[in-house]
Structure 1
Amino acid sequence: GGGAASAYLVAGEYAASLNATPLCVRAASVEAAKRGPTQATRMLLARGYLAGREFEACREALSEALVVDKRLSEAMNMKAHSFFMELGWPNHRSGQPLPASAEAIGLFVKASEARVPFNDALSRLRLGKLYLATRRWYDAKAVFLEACRLEPSTTTWLGLAEACLHGGEVDQAEEALAEGNILDPKNAEVWGVLTIVCMLLDKVKDAEASLKQALTLGLSIKETFPVDRFILEQMGNQFRNRGMYQLALQAYRRGILPKSPAPAMCDALAGCLVRVNELQEAVATYALIVESGNATLQEKEEALTSCVELSRQLKREADVDKYGRMLHSLRTAPP
């Protein structure tokens, strides 16, 4: 009877929560075989496939659900999550090419504006992340303002601060960071963005204290809301622009990952090292770009050109020759 049918759904929901895709799919299939397919079984199938990262199958189940009820906002929302995950947004970081975003954004918005809207905390954070990455500061601000009103967290305040900062509302960014700091005074990203904000507001002493705090708490280039420049890179740039090179170097150095150095961070660090006449370390840092799997041909060519010029200044003829040959090979390599 009814109890047995819902038991499969309950078991399937539990399996989905454990990311046990085969069990979840089996439960939904048995339920559908006994009772005929329903919206509940379609949504359960989709949830199971999403948990197992079977994105095509997930969207197929959701499309079937939307044929039955084209206003089913939960199905639109889950479809948005499937695109967000499949396109690599959870692992996206600053300085990388942007994955596609239009489909996920469109579906998140449609779900949140439906007659019976579906708009949970995770969806708001992900939509805000997409808006920030695509430089839609005003839209990002609106999403994070709503998130801070409905379910405030350090993360929602950080998102709002980033939207305000990049949208030119630096005072509002400072207020949002103060709120985030109250909820979690140990969030390194909050302290990092606060460093940038303090420099822009001419609060240099506060910026120095915030930099120290951000580095102590382990700020890295793994960011919640990547924009086109890393937080550490933006921090370094603020200090460098004021001639405060040692503080700039602290920020830049923290952003260099030994195994996969980001070309933008290496370039910023090397440029600052040249300013303080640390030419040997600058050459070594430019060389990291050449070895990086993430660098474009143009970035490698520019880095090698710098290696040649600096090696010449250092009167290291062997290095001039070495980097010169590498530059020649790069320029004459078949496309």
Structure 2
Amino acid sequence: MRSAQGGVTKGGKAGKEKAGEEEVPISFHGVAYVDLAPLLYPGAKRIRGAYPLSPFYESDLEAKTKRTGSILRDIVRVAAVHPKGRISSAQSSAQLKAVAPKIPEAQKGAKEPKEQPKKSVTQGKALPADPATEVDAPGNVEGQMYAEARTYIVLEISLEKPLVPKRSPEELARRVMELIPPRPPLPRLPVGAERAVQEYQSQVANVVGQVLEQYQQLFGAAMVPGAPPLDSASQEQRKSQLLAELNYSGRYFAFKEQMKHSVVRIVREKMLRTEVFSDQEQLQAFLSQLYVFLVDEMHVALNKTLSPDAQETLQRPLLDSAQLRHFAREAQLNEDYPLAEQYYQERLALDRQDPGHWFDFGAFHMLTGDHVKAQECFQQAVSVDQSHLSSLLMCGILAETAGRCEEAETFLERATSLDPTNVVAWTIFGLYYESRDDAIHAEMAFLEAQKQLRAALAGGPPSGGREGAGRQADEVPRQDRESVTIDGPINTTDVEEDAQSLGNRSQDSQEGGAGGDGRDIDPAVTKPPATPPRLRTTIYMETVQFLLHNNVPQMSQRALAQELLCPEGGRSSCYHLALARLHLLSGDFCSAEANLREALKGGLENPDVWASTGHLHYLTGTHSKARTCYERTLAFVTDASDMHPVYLRLGDIYLQEGQFEKAKPTYLRGCKSAPTCLTWLGVGIACYRLGELAEAEDALTEANALNNANPEVWGYLCLVCLRTGRKLEAEQCYKYTVKLDLQKETLLREITELQAQQTEPQIQILK
């Protein structure tokens, strides 16, 4: 800008005050708007750019910066009353720093008594008195010269350290290098002497089984549960009778013939004796040694056969329960529900006595909308373990949904009695009472949940019940599922209406000295402390995480309505994030996008918000925006709650865009955190496209070991075999590709074209 030179005003102090109140003329007033948002990027410490100067208008300033008044105008006013006629640039800079924090006061000064005019015009521009009634001046003619001359200003802003930390390249490189550690050697297959011993032990186990069957046939009817053990005479009698039956039936001779081959292998491969003995004493000594060895190995085989623990060790599955659960959740993420159900059934086949297996299967049925099967699974979990808290809560929720209120209250009350320190259990109990218009019991449950949450956050002992403050009903990973259709849409207005109605009902009754069931109420529960500590979270947000994780949208909506009424809650970034997840669960992408936009306003440093925004763009097909959000998520120091879908979807976007050098480390990071068939498949595809055939084959082999029914894995193995000239293996892989019904036509076409490039006709792959 250019301003008139200020001078000392006559009239002493009163004159100075008058001069300060008068408007100082400003000419050639221009403004440059600088976007400082890039400084909030992880690791950003410097921004530099050329910014155009445009004419200054109050309306533009208010629209872009959401504030009224000009800092320069305040500086000019200070300069007008300064003792000297001019001030140096250094003093001007110091005054700028001093005036900037006083802008709110200047804004307050805009609202002067009513006798002042609402606006005054000086040098062709209006000074706002009321933003609502402000009208722009005809135009900033002198400031327009900046636009005509295309004037710009170059600004550079540097920070000592970034506002948002970022992982250093060295750390990222180190973590990526650790993604594929040296693979532990596979269990060494028994060969030679060891295999001979194992064969002998297996033959002993087989013979023992047949002898036990014969014993059961002879004396099974005489065996009475709880009967006293047999005396020695009776045992000898049964032994003689059993041997007689084995000799008479010819089984004894069959057993000897069955064991002969394994004993001969031990003699040859373990004892290393293949020649005939010429000395009788050496023969006897060898037979004694062989007898002792065979008896010892027989006892080892008997212990393995008759010991339940050893039997479980021998039958150890290839995939454990945790891996199957992870694979099932990954299949849910990709909307492959038949495959997810297959994994859950495999978990049940491993151990049907684990209530967690039944509970996860029930949560899966909640996702697919089959509440009948879900209830059966939760009930199975409770029948296995009467104290399984999560299943009790879900049984209560489903009972309330079906209108069986008495059952619901029983289940929920049982849950709170099992773990009186559980915040989620108390909150769900309160939501149940709230739906029944039982304000007294609802307030009791909510206050108890608040007390337990404060005790947990304070790090002290629990306020009541047994030890273990802050334990949740289940360990709740976040953001496991994004899109599935449920009964009816869920709107933000519904949550707000629920919150309004709940707020009106909460004033209808006050808590007394005793609850509705006649039990005394602890005064500490009914009367919270006068100055409660500020909570970092709320009971409703903790409950929403549990409900969303287990696919319970209706009660999640009620919990979010209560969050709006909570003094510690409200429309926070966490609230909008949870509401966005609720909309993603129902498939309402428009409402989810609006809530994620609100969540980003207060959660720019929250990786979960960026990850959820990336999931939304990925599901709606805007992959470029999804890639940007995922890259921001990976740049944060703290990982999101669930990074697996981030790695999978970002790697898939890189593959679609042909950025294979970026897709490979992304998938490798997924393999490091939680290896699955799809993560290793992504590594294999990226390596194949980069020409790294050896690494591609290793990765595809890993993927095939985790899931040998994926046709895409077999298809790329066929391509690798064709590239390396292994024609027979390529043909076998192609047969499995066709047998498993590969749906990707582009991959089938690529296999056919590569096969056609071979010069020898006999290597043509059967189609």
Q: Which aligned pairs between 1:76-95 and structure 2 lie closer than 5 A?
A: 76-87=610-621
Which residue does the alignment assign to 1:176?
A: 699
Determine the C-alpha separation between the residues in 1 that align with 2:586 and 2:764.
45
- 2:755 counterpart (235, 239, 262): 239
Which residue does the alignment assign to 1:112?
A: 634
Which residue does the alignment assign to 2:449?
A: 3
Q: Relative to 1, partners in 2 of residues 1:175 and 1:6: Cα closer, same or farther, differing over 3 Å?
A: same
- Pick which of 36-45 and 15-24 moved more: 15-24
- For residue 60 of structure 1, report the CA deviation from its aligned partner: 2.3
Which residue does the alignment assign to 2:734?
A: 211
Determine the C-alpha separation between the residues in 1 that align with 2:563 and 2:448.
11
Q: Which aligned pairs between 1:6-155 and structure 2 lie closer than 5 A?
A: 6=538, 8-17=540-549, 19=551, 21-35=553-567, 36-87=570-621, 100-118=622-640, 120-155=643-678
Q: Deviations over 1:145-164 (max 9, x none)?
A: 11112211111111001011
| AA at the equivalent of 1:202 | G
Q: Which aligned pairs between 1:242-253 and structure 2 lie closer than 5 A?
A: 242=758, 250=767
Provide the aligned C-alpha RMSD in A.
2.5
Q: Deviations over 1:256-314 (max 9, x none)?
A: xxxxxxxxxxxxxxxxxxxxxxxxxxxxxxxxxxxxxxxxxxxxxxxxxxxxxxxxxxx
Determine the C-alpha separation between the residues in 1 that align with 2:676 and 2:548.
26
Q: Relative to 1, partners in 2 of residues 1:83 and 1:2: Cα closer, same or farther, differing over 3 Å?
A: farther
Q: Relative to 1, partners in 2 of residues 1:31 and 1:245: Cα closer, same or farther, differing over 3 Å?
A: farther
Q: Relative to 1, partners in 2 of residues 1:65 and 1:136: Cα closer, same or farther, differing over 3 Å?
A: same
- For residue 140 of structure 1, report the CA deviation from its aligned partner: 0.4
Determine the C-alpha separation between the residues in 1 that align with 2:764 and 2:561.
60
Determine the C-alpha separation between the residues in 2 that align with 1:67 and 1:153.
35
Say which SS state the counterpart of residue 566 (structure 2) adopts: helix
- Pick which of 76-85 and 159-168 moved more: 159-168
- For residue 26 of structure 1, report the CA deviation from its aligned partner: 3.5
Q: Which aligned pairs between 1:228-307 and structure 2 lie closer than 5 A?
A: 230-242=746-758, 250=767
Determine the C-alpha separation between the residues in 1 that align with 2:548 and 2:739.
39
Determine the C-alpha separation between the residues in 2 that align with 1:236 and 1:37.
57
Q: Which runs of 5+ in 1 are unaligned?
A: 88-99, 222-228, 251-335
Q: Relative to 1, partners in 2 of residues 1:60 and 1:154: Cα closer, same or farther, differing over 3 Å?
A: same
Determine the C-alpha separation between the residues in 1 that align with 2:676 and 2:560.
35
- For residue 2 of structure 1, report the CA deviation from its aligned partner: 6.6
- For residue 73 of structure 1, report the CA deviation from its aligned partner: 0.8
Determine the C-alpha separation between the residues in 1 that align with 2:701 and 2:449.
51
- Pick which of 18-27 and 31-40 moved more: 18-27
Q: Which runs of 5+ in 2 are unaligned?
A: 1-446, 451-536
- For residue 24 of structure 1, report the CA deviation from its aligned partner: 2.7
- For residue 248 of structure 1, report the CA deviation from its aligned partner: 5.7
Cα contact 2:573–2:601 (8 A) shared by 1: no
- For residue 62 of structure 1, report the CA deviation from its aligned partner: 2.2
Determine the C-alpha separation between the residues in 2 that align with 1:111 and 1:62.
14
> Please, what TM-score do these two structures have when normalized by structure 1?
0.63
Cα contact 1:239–1:247 (8 A) shared by 2: yes
Cα contact 1:32–1:38 (8 A) shared by 2: no
- For residue 109 of structure 1, report the CA deviation from its aligned partner: 0.8
Q: In the comparison of the two structures, how many residue pairs are matched? A: 231
| AA at the equivalent of 1:176 | A
Cα contact 1:237–1:248 (8 A) shared by 2: no
Q: Deviations over 1:85-108 (max 9, x none)?
A: 112xxxxxxxxxxxx421100100
Cα contact 2:573–2:600 (8 A) shared by 1: no
Q: Deviations over 1:154-190 (max 9, x none)?
A: 1111100101111222221111112222222332211
Determine the C-alpha separation between the residues in 2 that align with 1:248 and 1:233.
13
Cα contact 1:77–1:111 (8 A) shared by 2: yes
| AA at the equivalent of 1:234 | E
Cα contact 2:731–2:766 (8 A) shared by 1: no
Say which SS state the counterpart of residue 639 (structure 2) adopts: coil
Determine the C-alpha separation between the residues in 1 that align with 2:572 and 2:668.
37
Determine the C-alpha separation between the residues in 2 that align with 1:200 and 1:135.
20
Structure with higher helix content: 1
Determine the C-alpha separation between the residues in 1 that align with 2:593 and 2:732.
48
- Pick which of 14-23 and 140-149 moved more: 14-23
- For residue 128 of structure 1, report the CA deviation from its aligned partner: 0.5
Say which SS state the counterpart of residue 117 (structure 1) adopts: coil
Say which SS state the counterpart of residue 625 (structure 2) adopts: helix
Cα contact 1:71–1:115 (8 A) shared by 2: no
Which of 1 and 2 has greater Rg? Answer: 2
| AA at the equivalent of 1:142 | P
Q: Deviations over 1:168-226 (max 9, x none)?
A: 222211111122222223322111110011101111111011111222233222xxxxx
Say which SS state the counterpart of residue 604 (structure 2) adopts: coil
Say which SS state the counterpart of residue 230 (structure 1) adopts: helix
Determine the C-alpha separation between the residues in 1 that align with 2:695 and 2:683.
9
Q: Relative to 1, partners in 2 of residues 1:72 and 1:2: Cα closer, same or farther, differing over 3 Å?
A: farther
Determine the C-alpha separation between the residues in 2 that align with 1:77 and 1:136.
20
- For residue 127 of structure 1, report the CA deviation from its aligned partner: 0.6
- For residue 63 of structure 1, report the CA deviation from its aligned partner: 2.5
